Chains A and B, each alone.
Chain A
Amino acid sequence: MASTVSTPPTGTPASGEAVDPALERAAERAAARRGALLALPGFVYLGLFFAVPLAIVFVYSFATRSSTGRTILGEWSLRSYGRLFDPLVGGIAWRSLWIAALATAICLLVGYPFAYFIATRSPRVRGLLLVGVMIPFWSNFLVRTYAWRLLLGSDGPLSQLTDLAGLGPSRLLFTPTAVLIGLVYGFLPFMVLPLYAAIERMDFGLVEAARDLYASGWKAFRHVTWPLSRPGVVAGSILVFIPSLGAYVTPEILGGSRTTMLGSFIVRQFLSARDWPFGSSLSFVVMAVMLLATMVYFRVGGKTL
Chain B
Amino acid sequence: MTTTPSPASTATKASEALAVSTAAVELAEVVKRFEDVTAVERLDLRVPDGEFFSLLGPSGCGKTTTLRMIAGLEIPTEGSVRIFGEEMGLRPPNRRPVNTVFQSYALFPHMTVEQNIAFGLQMRRTAADETRRRVAEVIELVRLGGMERRKPQQLSGGQQQRVALGRALVNQPKVLLLDEPLGALDLKLRQAMQLELKELQERVGVTFVYVTHDQEEALTMSDRIGVMDAGRLLQVGTPEEIYEHPRTRMVADFIGQTNFLAAVAQGQGEARLADGRTVNVPPGSTSGVAITLALRPEKLSVVPAGEPSPSGANQLVGVVERRVYLGSSLTYEVALEGVTLRVRQENTPSVAQCREGDRVGIRWDPASTTVLEE
A-side residues, CB < 8 A to B, are 203, 205-206, 208-217, 219, 223-224, 227-228, 304-305
Contacts and interface: CB of A to CB of B under 8 A. Distances in A.
Q: Lowest 10 A-B CB distances belong to which pairs? A: A213-B120, A209-B106, A214-B123, A211-B93, A205-B106, A214-B94, A215-B123, A212-B100, A212-B93, A214-B124
B73 A213 contact: no
Given A208-B106, A214-B123, A215-B123, 5 more contacts: A205-B106, A208-B102, A213-B123, A213-B171, A214-B124
Contacts of B123: 210, 213-215, 219
Contacts of B120: 213-214
Interface residues of B, number: 24
B110 interface: yes
A214 B106 contact: no
Given A208-B93, A212-B73, A212-B99, A223 B119 contact: yes
Nearest to A207: B106
A215 B95 CA distance: 9
Interface in B49-105: 71-73, 92-95, 98-100, 102, 104
A227 B104 contact: no
B109 interface: yes
A227 B98 CA distance: 26
Given A211-B93, A212-B73, A212-B93, A205 B102 contact: yes
Say what secondary structure dominates the interface of chain A.
helix
B167 interface: yes
A282 B99 CA distance: 59
Contacts of B95: 214
Q: Which of A206, A208, A209, A219 has the most B CB atoms < 10 Å from its CB?
A: A209
A212 B71 contact: yes
A219 B100 CA distance: 18
B243 interface: no
A233 to B, nearest CB: 13
Q: Which of B94, B95, B107, B124 has the most A CB atoms < 10 Å from its CB?
A: B94
19 contacts: A206-B106, A206-B109, A209-B102, A209-B108, A210-B108, A211-B72, A211-B73, A212-B99, A212-B100, A213-B120, A213-B168, A213-B171, A214-B95, A214-B123, A214-B124, A223-B119, A224-B108, A228-B110, A305-B110
B171 A203 contact: no
B119 A208 contact: no
Interface of B: 71-73, 92-95, 98-100, 102, 104, 106-110, 119-120, 123-124, 167-168, 171
B227 to A, nearest CB: 26
A213 B169 CA distance: 11
Q: Which of A205, A214, A216 has the most B CB atoms < 10 Å from its CB?
A: A214
Nearest to A209: B106
Contacts of A212: 71-73, 93-94, 98-100
Nearest to B99: A212
B34 to A, nearest CB: 14
Contact of A214 (B73, B110, B171): B171
Contacts of B73: 208, 211-212
A57 B209 CA distance: 70
Q: Which of B71, B93, B99 has the most A CB atoms < 10 Å from its CB?
A: B93
A209 B171 contact: no
Contacts of A208: 73, 93, 102, 106
A228 B72 CA distance: 24
Contacts of A219: 123
A212 B123 CA distance: 11
Nearest to A224: B108
A1 B171 CA distance: 56
A209 B103 CA distance: 11
B110 to A, nearest CB: 5
B110 A227 contact: yes
A192 to B, nearest CB: 23
A205 B94 contact: no
B99 A210 contact: no
Contacts of B100: 209, 212
A219 B123 CA distance: 8
A98 B298 CA distance: 81
A227 B115 CA distance: 14
B93 A304 contact: no
Contacts of B124: 214
A12 B168 CA distance: 41
B110 A304 contact: yes
A213 B92 CA distance: 11
Nearest to B106: A209
Q: Which of B73, B106, B119 has the most A CB atoms < 10 Å from its CB?
A: B106
A228 B167 CA distance: 19
A217 B102 CA distance: 19
A305 B120 CA distance: 21
A304 B110 CA distance: 7
B94 A211 contact: yes
A128 B108 CA distance: 31
Nearest to A206: B106
A225 to B, nearest CB: 11
